[in-house]
Amino acid sequence: ICLPKMGEQSVLVVCGIYENESMTEAWRGIQALDKVRVTLDLFKYGIAVFDGKLQKEDYYLRYFPDFHI
């Protein structure tokens, strides 16, 4: 719904990217888009950066549920 409205310097935040199979599939589809240059996979959230000046790259934050500071 909002992807066609994303401009050259837009940022999209997606909640629940691993909540179910359809959300994971949607997130993978967003990552594959040519106009999405950088993605950040934060496990519960996904951030997609639309900036043609950046190189295409996908970053993943490792999730350690038992880690406490």
Tokens 């350690």: give the residue. 64
pLDDT > 70? residue 67? no
Q: How confident is the model at residue 3 (pLDDT cuts 50, 70, 90)?
A: confident
**Token pair recorded at residue 50:** 């639309």
Over residues 9-38, the pLDDT tens digits come to: 899 999 999 999 999 999 999 999 999 999
- Average pLDDT, stretch 46-60? 94
The SS3 call for residue 43 is coil
pLDDT in the model for residue 1 = 67
- Average pLDDT, stretch 49-64? 89
**Ordered alpha helix ranges (H), the chain:** 21-32
